[in-house]
Structure 1
Amino acid sequence: MASEDIKQSLKLFIVLSRAHKAINESTNQFFQKNGVNPTEFAVLELLYHKGRQPLQQIGNKILLASGSITYVVDKLEKRGYLTRVSCPNDRRVTYAEITEEGTIFMDELFPQHEQHLHELLSSLSVDDKDVAIELLKKLGLSIKDLSY
C-alpha cells in the first residue's frame, strides 16, 4: 500500500512538472513574439500593477537573483519602458518606474497575455480551476512548513 502511495506521489510530480513545462514553453514563445523575455515581462508587470519599486526589492518580488535585475532593468531602460528614480530621502535607494511608453506597451500586451493563459487553461472548467488552485496552495504551503 505504501509503495503505491509513493508511486502516486512520483506520478503527481511528473504530471505537475510536464504541465508547468508546457505552460512555460507556450508563454515564453508568446513573450518572444512580443519582443520581451519572461524576466523583462515580470519586471514590467510588477511595475505596471504595483507602481514604482525599489530596485533592491524587485528580485524578491519576481523570484530573480538581484544580480540579474540590474541587467534586465538596463535593457528595459534602454528600450524606454522604465526609468530609474532616485529616492530623495535615502541616496542608497533607487526606484524603477514604468514610463508612459512602458505603460502603453503593457496596456496592449497584458490583456493578450491574460487571454493566452485563459486559452492554455481552457480545458479546465471554472470549478476545476478552483479545485486546482485550492490543492496547489495546500501543497505549496505544506512544503514551506517542511524543513530539510
Structure 2
Amino acid sequence: MNVTDPTPTALAQGWCALSLLHGRIETHIEHALQAGHDLSVREYSLLNTLSRQYDGPGGHLQMKQVAEAVVLSQSATTRLVTRLENRGLLNRYLCPTDRRGIYTEVSEAGSALLAEARPTHDHALREALGTAAENPELAPLVRAVEAVRTPEAV
C-alpha cells in the first residue's frame, strides 16, 4: 500500500475554498429568506427561474431544464414544484400543442412574493460576499464572483 502525501493539492484547496464560500453564502441567504418571506433558497431559485419563462416558441422550460437550473434532481424538483403549487405560488397547466407536456408558471401570488423577496436575497448575497471578502482564502473567489456578468447585465 502506498502512502500518499496528506497535503492537499492547490486544486483541492481551491475546491474546498469554493465549497466553503458557497456554503456560507447559501446559509446566509437561507436565513434571510426564511425569516423575511418563509422561502428556502431552493424555493426562491425555482420561482426566479420559472419567472423568466415566456409564452411562445421555446418559451417554456422542461422539468429537466428547471432541475438543472436549480441544481436538483428531477424528482426533487417535482416535489419542490408541488410544494410551491400547494402554497399557491405556482400553477401547472397542459401544453396547448402537446397534451403530454405540463408547464409550470409562477402565479400572481408567486410573482408578488418573488418581487418582495428579491431585495432580501440580493442584500443577503452582498452581505455574505462582503463578509467572505474579509477572509484572505475566500477573497479571490469573491472577486471572481463579482467579476462575472450575465449577458443581459453586460
Q: Is TM-score (shorter-chain normalized) higher than 0.5?
A: yes
The number of residue pairs the alignment matches comes to 131
Percent identity between the aligned chains? 27
Please tell me whether residue 47 in structure 1 is matched to residue 57 in structure 2: no
Unaligned runs of 5+ in 2: 55-59, 134-139, 149-154
Provide the rounded CA distance (Å) in 2 between the counterparts of 1:134 and 1:107: 23
1:31-86 Cα distance to aligned partner (Å, 9 max, x none): 32221222211110111233453334311222211111221111111111110011
Structure 1: which 5+ residue stretches go unaligned?
A: 137-148
TM-score (norm 2): 0.70
What letter corresponds to residue 47 of structure 1 in structure 2? L
Q: Answer with 114-123 or 10-19: which moved more.
A: 10-19
Equivalent position amino acid for 2:114 in 1: M
**Are residue 61 (structure 1) and residue 64 (structure 2) matched?**
no
C-alpha distance in structure 1 between counterparts of 2:21 and 2:96, whole Å = 46
Task: Report which of the two has the higher share of helix.
Answer: 1
CA contact (8 A) 1:53 1:97 kept: no
Task: Detail structure 1 runs of 4+ shifted over 4 Å in the superposition.
Answer: 128-131
TM-score, normalised to structure 1, is 0.72
Contact 1:47 1:98 in 2 (8 A): yes
Cα distance change on mapping 1:116 and 1:130 into 2, 3 Å: closer
Q: Structure 1 pair 130/36, CA: closer, same or farther in 2 (3 Å)?
A: closer
What pairs with 1:1-148 in structure 2 (closer than 5 Å)? 7-33=9-35, 34-51=37-54, 52-122=60-130, 124=133, 131-133=143-145
Deviation string 1:87-140 (CA, Å, 9 cap, x unpaired) is: 01111111100111111101110122111111222354xxx778514999xxxx
Report if aligned partners of 2:18, 2:141 keep a CA contact under 8 Å in 1. no
1:8-52 deviation line (CA, Å, top 9, x unaligned): 334333322322221122122223222122221111011123345
Asked if the contact 1:87–1:95 (Cα under 8 Å) also holds between the matched residues in 2, the reply is yes
Root-mean-square deviation over aligned CA pairs: 2.9
CA, structure 1 residues 37+94, in 2 after alignment: closer, same or farther (shift >3 Å)? same
Go from structure 1 to structure 2 and tell me whether the alpha carbon gap of 1:44 and 1:132 turns closer, same or farther (over 3 Å shift): same
